[in-house]
Every structure is written in C-alpha cells, then in structure tokens.
Amino acid sequence: MHGLRDALEQSQKDGVAIGHFNVADWVLLKAVLASGQELKVPVVVGASEGKREFIGVRQIAALVRSVREECDYPIFLNADHTHSLPKAVEAAKAGFDAIVFDLSALPFEQNVRQTKEAIEAIKTINSAILVEGEIGDIGTGSEIHEKAPDLSRGLTSPAEAKQFVESTGVDILAPAVGNMHGMLKSMVQGQTRKRLDIERIAQIKSAVQVPLTLHGGSGTDDEDLRKAIAAGINIIHINTELRVAWRRGLEEGLGKQPREVVPYKILPFAVESVKKVARSRLKLFNADR
C-alpha cells in the first residue's frame, strides 16, 4: 500500500483532490468508507481531538486498519485539529497517517516555533507521517452558525505561507482562503454558498511547494471547489455536511419506525444519508468520476 504522500502526488498529477471526511462513530465511518469503495478513490478519515476522545484514539486507528486490510482502495487516517504536542504524539503512536498540528490561534512567530518543534518530535515516532500546519483564521467549530464571522483579516498571504512552510518544514499547508469551519443556517437550507478566493489559492500554490488542504469545505459552491482544485488544493475537508446528513438520516429512521428499538434497523438510514453526501462530494473532487 502506498502512503498518503504518493496519493497526494498522484492527485496533483490527475488534477483531482482527495476527500477528507470527519467521523465520530461507526455510522459515519461506514458511510465514508463505502463511498470511497464504490468510487474506487482514496479517502482520508479525519478525527479531531473531541472525536478521538469519544471513539478512542487507538480504537479508531484499529477500526480503520482492519477495514484497510480488506479493501483495495487507499484509506488514510488523519488526526484533525490537534492543538498540543501530547495529543499529536498519542495519535502518531496509535498509527495515524497524518496530523493537523493547529496552532493557528497563536501569533505567527509562536505558531512557527512550536509547529517546528512538534514536527521533529512527531517524526521521531514515525518518519512517514505527514504533518499539516495551519495559518490564518478559518473560524471555530464545524457547527451551524447563526451569523457569518468576519474572517477577512485572517486570510493567508502568499508571503506568509512561504515563510511558514520554509521555517517549519510542514508537509502540508492549510491556508485561509475564504473557507470557514461550519455552515450558516442559510447554507444548510441551500440558500447561500461559501465562495473561495481562487486567485489567492493560486498565488499560495506558486509560493509554496507543498500540498494544500481546504478546511471547512461544507456548503461551498461546487464551481468554486472545482476551481480551487485546479488552482492547487489537494485535500478538501467535509464535516458539517456529514453531521447534518447524519442527523437527518437518524430522524428519518426513527420517524419511519416509531416503535423500533433495534439499532441496526434504525442506523442504516443514517448511513445511507451520510453516504449520499460523501459520494457526491467525492465525485466532484475526483472530476465527476
């Protein structure tokens, strides 16, 4: 099995992006993995600190490993938004393929210094693991927000991106290019879409030589996502859209069977609902394959 680095290189050559989907339970994981398998495209399963705490760090790693052994398409596991070195070390030891080491809330210099130190520590545990660093402001949680935060001042500049990549040695960069964690109510209702700064993505791509990740992809305009991939985005994160689908599917399963108590008769509705979203996003990221 080739590693994530190879998969990223291949995606860059093919002009496609790898879908990154956050999972917090077996329903989400099952749906994401089934989508990748159906389309025969690589997927990255993401678990941030809160989700790792819920499922168990070693347990999610074991689940992904066991599925990986039985399938013929690449599955990778990413420790999403990790805010401290001990949490990063824990994920590296459990066998994660990548870690998003996110100190973007700190001042730039501090972010650089601590990210560099963390990379050294993480690579001594597993030299093949990829570490992603983050600069700029892309908002907080992957939830439904009442109103749009002003992220305009936190956009990543190409010069800053270059300096950050060169002085930290990150394998992957997550810039702020108009993207935002979570969705607005109007986005969930389908009335508005997020728009991206495509020009900025292209400028950052030519300033740095590493793969780029787009966080907060949920609710983004389809055409903007296609353009972002063409401009150099290699990984796209989808979380909130899956959460919305998970809840809707669960409600459908409960609503259609008001007296049912058997989990494996209720939960397949949630799996199907999440699968529909993951599949359509993967199709888009992989040039409508």
Sequence-distant (≥ 6) Cβ neighbours of residue 181 within 8 angstroms: 138, 139, 140, 141, 142, 215, 216, 239, 240
CB of 181 to Zn ion, least distance (A): 6
CB of 81 to Zn ion, least distance (A): 6
CB of 124 to Zn ion, least distance (A): 26
Residue nearest to Zn ion (CB): 215
CB of 71 to Zn ion, least distance (A): 26
CB of 244 to Zn ion, least distance (A): 16
- Which CB, 52 or 215, lies closer to Zn ion? 215
Contact with Zn ion (CB under 5 A): which of 20, 30, 215, 275? 215
Asked whether 187 and 216 are in contact (CB, 8 A), the reply is no
Sequence-distant (≥ 6) Cβ neighbours of residue 96 within 8 angstroms: 61, 77, 78, 79, 129
- Which CB, 42 or 217, lies closer to Zn ion? 217
CA distance 186 to 266: 28
CA distance 124 to 92: 10
Choose the stretch contacting Zn ion; rule: CB under 5 A; options: 146-154, 214-222, 264-272, 275-283: 214-222
- Which CB, 142 or 203, lies closer to Zn ion? 142
Give exposure, 246-269, as e/b (b: 16+ Cβ within 10 Å): bebbbeebeeeeeeeeeeeebbbb
CB of 242 to Zn ion, least distance (A): 13
Choose the stretch contacting Zn ion; rule: CB under 5 A; options: 54-62, 149-157, 158-166, 215-223: 215-223
CA distance 95 to 52: 13
> What own/partner pairs with CB < 8 Å and gap ≥ 24 does 69-74 have?
71/33, 71/37, 72/40, 73/36, 73/37, 73/40, 73/41, 73/42, 73/43, 74/1, 74/2, 74/4, 74/7, 74/42, 74/43
Size of the site for Zn ion (CB under 5 A): 1
CB of 276 to Zn ion, least distance (A): 22
**Is there binding between residue 200 and Zn ion (CB under 5 A)?**
no
- Which CB, 224 or 269, lies closer to Zn ion? 224
- Give the tokens for residue 247: 């809840």
- Which CB, 48 or 273, lies closer to Zn ion? 48
- Which CB, 96 or 269, lies closer to Zn ion? 96
CA distance 100 to 122: 11
3-state SS class at 1: coil
- Which CB, 168 or 267, lies closer to Zn ion? 168
CB of 22 to Zn ion, least distance (A): 8
Residues of this chain, 116-145, that bind Zn ion according to CB under 5 A: none
Which positions from 159 to 198 touch Zn ion by CB under 5 A, shown as an x/- string? Answer: ----------------------------------------
- Which CB, 81 or 271, lies closer to Zn ion? 81
Q: Assign 3-state DSSP to the chain and report helix, strand, coil percentages, each to 5.
A: 50, 15, 35
**Which residues contact Zn ion (rule: CB under 5 A)?**
215
